[in-house]
Amino acid sequence: MPWELKNDRPIYAQLIEQIELKICSGVYTPGSRLPSVRDLAREASVNPNTMQRALAKLEEDGLLYSTRTSGRFVTEDDNMIYQVKSKLAQEQMRDFLKNMRQLGFENKEILSMLKTMLEEVKQ
Amino acid sequence: MNTILECKNLSKSFGSTKALDGINLTIEKGRIVGLLGPNGSGKTTFIKICNELLTPTSGEVRINGFTPGVETKKIVSYLPEKTYLNDWMKVSQIIRLFQDFYADFIPEKAYDMLKRLNIDPNSRLKTLSKGTKEKVQLILVMSRDAQLYLLDEPIGGVDPAARDYILDTIISNYNENAAVILSTHLIADIEKVLDDIIFLKEGQIVLNKTVDEVRDESGKSVDALFREVFKC
């Protein structure tokens, strides 16, 4: 999963979202050790201080924890990961609805189109 | 003491032209700073003063507490805008020269980077292309374990792939006790790597913020803001 950073928003906030996404999608599994700040910064081609700030925030939120000697780990609390997952899902849905309304669709239409699409994708 | 570079009211005039006009600036260790501005805004003049190639008309610069001179050259690794290396020398000979010159030069690091960029240490400089010469020069500069790197247009002359490698090198060489100041026009390529940006306009600082402050406050990339501030 490559790092995708957009130009119009703070890099720090985007790094937080991308790491959350990587945790929710299982790129970083619960309890696993994260690469070092420097390696993560290299991977994402970002400033190491910015990466450090993003990791510190995730740690403050409880999604990551660090030990003095052996590095930084993903939480083992499945419930917490699930909460982040629903937060990300809600953001996605909000964006989707905003775009659909911009195209001029009503709730009813959106719902039926979504149902049809789900059927199609299943096959 | 976390300050590595400090400028007080720094000005430089060439005749009636003010190249730098009252620059006040403090740069902390551990920061990667972009010095950005259009042609003739004073970027190179500033970097040259920091390396004692020019002397200020008024005001001062202090690097680790010293005015530019012998003491600062020990800890400053400088990439000039033009190459000064002897064309007839082999890359390996230049590496030896640097090793003699600078106590903090790490030859293994230089050879490692040459290998990554597929540059033969036995080739003579005059046989290399312009872009490859620039890569060699940057490799030499980044192979020092310096406290301040002053890079004048480090990515201007190289292809996008080498540019990525150079940025990668700056990130992997990151050291909380060293600062990097680099001047460039190619902001879009480099802004994700920077902590702070300084916009220079006609010898004055018009903006000094972190990249994320700029993005947060303006909702624009530094590149987009630059195009707006310096619209011709």
pLDDT in tens, B15-27: 999 999 999 999 9
What is residue A70's predicted lDDT score, i.e. its pLDDT? 83
Judge whether B148 and B5 are in contact, CB under 8 Å. Answer: yes
Judgement on whether residues A93 and A64 belong to the same structural domain of the protein: no
Query: Which chain B residues touch A47 with a CB distance below 8 Å?
Result: 32, 171, 192-195, 211
Quote ipTM for the complex.
0.85
Chain A residues with CB-CB distance to B171 below 8 A:
38, 41-42, 45-48
**Domains of chain A: total:** 2
**Domain that residue A21 falls in:** 11-76
Q: Is residue A67 part of a domain?
A: yes
The pLDDT of residue B231 is: 85
Q: Are residues A19 and A71 in the same domain?
A: yes
Residues A90 and A115 in one domain: yes
Do residue A85 and residue A68 come from a single domain?
A: no
Confidence bin at B109 (pLDDT 50/70/90): very high
In a domain, A3, yes or no: no
State how far the Cα of B130 lies from the Cα of B144, in Å rounded to an integer: 22
Closest partner residue to B194 among A13, A41, A47, by Cβ? A47
In a domain, residue A5? The reply is no
Tokens of A89: 């899902």
Residue A1 lies in a domain: no
CATH number, domain at A53? Answer: 1.10.10.10
Average confidence (pLDDT) over B90-105: 95
**Has residue A28 been placed in a domain?**
yes
Q: Are residues A62 and A84 in the same domain?
A: no
Q: Which residue has the higher pLDDT, A24 or B159?
A: A24
Residue A106 pLDDT greater than 80, yes or no: yes
Same domain, A68 and A26: yes
Pairing of strands B3-14, B17-28: antiparallel
B 158-197: CB under 8 A from A: 164, 167-168, 171-172, 174, 188, 192-195
Place of tokens 């082999």: B90
pLDDT at B145 over 80: yes
Whether A4 maps to a domain, the answer reads no
Q: How far apart are CA B34 and CA A90, in angstroms?
A: 37
Bridge partners of residue A121, in order along the sequence: none
For B192, which of A13, A38, A47 is closest by C-beta distance?
A47
Q: Are residues A70 and A18 in the same domain?
A: yes
Starting at the edge strand found earlier in the chain, the sheet holding B196-201 runs B76-79, B148-152, B179-184, B32-36, B196-201, B204-210
Separation in Å, CA B148 to CA B6, B31, B46: 12, 10, 14
What CA–CA distance (Å, rounded) separates A52 from A38? Answer: 9
pLDDT tens digits for B49-76? Answer: 999 999 999 999 999 999 999 999 999 9
Residue A83: how many other CB atoms lie within 10 Å: 13
Domain boundary among A40, A60, A76: A76
Distance CA B74, CA B84 (A): 18
Does residue B1 have a pLDDT over 70?
Answer: no
> Does A86 lie in the same domain as A53?
no
Sorted by sequence, the CB contacts under 8 Å of residue B155 that are 6+ apart come out as B163, B166, B167, B184, B186, B189, B190
Over chain A, what is the mean pLDDT?
A: 92
Could you tell me if A83 and A69 lie in one domain?
no
Average pLDDT, chain B: 93
Cβ–Cβ gap A45/B174 under 8 Å: no
> Domain check: are A46 and A28 in the same one?
yes
Collapsing DSSP to helix, strand or coil, A87 comes out as helix
Residue B220 CA to residue B223 CA, distance in Å, equals 8
Tell me how far apart the terminal alpha carbons of chain A are, to the nearest angstrom: 26
pLDDT confidence bin for B161, thresholds 50/70/90: confident
Residue A6 located in a structural domain: no
3-state helix/strand/coil string of B93-106 = HHHHHHHHHCCCEC
Nearest CA of chain B to the CA of A47: how many Å?
A: 4
- Cβ within 8 Å, pair A7-B220: yes
Residue A112 within a domain: yes
Residue at which a domain ends, from A44, A59, A76: A76
* Residues A24 and A37 grouped into a single domain: yes
Query: Are A91 and A44 within one domain?
Result: no
Q: Do B212 and A12 touch (CB under 8 A)?
A: yes
What confidence tier does B182 reach under pLDDT thresholds 50, 70, 90?
very high
CA B59 to chain centre: 22
